[in-house]
Amino acid sequence: MSLYVGASAGSQAAICPPNQTKVAWMAYVTQAGVALGLVKTVLTYDELTWGEPFAALMIGVVVLNLMVRLP
C-alpha cells in the first residue's frame, strides 16, 4: 500500500497523466523481482560459504525497501 500511495503522490506532484499515476508503483515491484533473481543466482553459485547469509541479508533489504520508501 505504501508503494501505491508514494508513487501516486510523486506522480501527481510531477503532473503525470492519470493513467500513469495509477500504475507508477509497478516499477518498484519489477525492480524487487530482478534483485531477488540476482540473490538466487548468488545463492546457487556459492551455496556453501557466504551464499546463505548474503541471501538472507539481501532479501531483508529488498523487503524493507518495498515497505519503507525513503526519498
- Give the pTM: 0.60
Q: How confident is the model at residue 1 (pLDDT cuts 50, 70, 90)?
A: low
Q: 14 or 71: whose pLDDT is higher?
A: 14
Specify the pLDDT at position 29.
75
The structural domains of the chain, with segments of one domain joined by +, span 2-67
Beta strand residue intervals within 1-71, DSSP E: none
pLDDT digits (tens, 9 = 90+) for 17-55: 888 777 777 777 778 888 889 888 888 876 667 888 888
For CA atoms 27, 71, 65, 3, the dihedral sign is negative
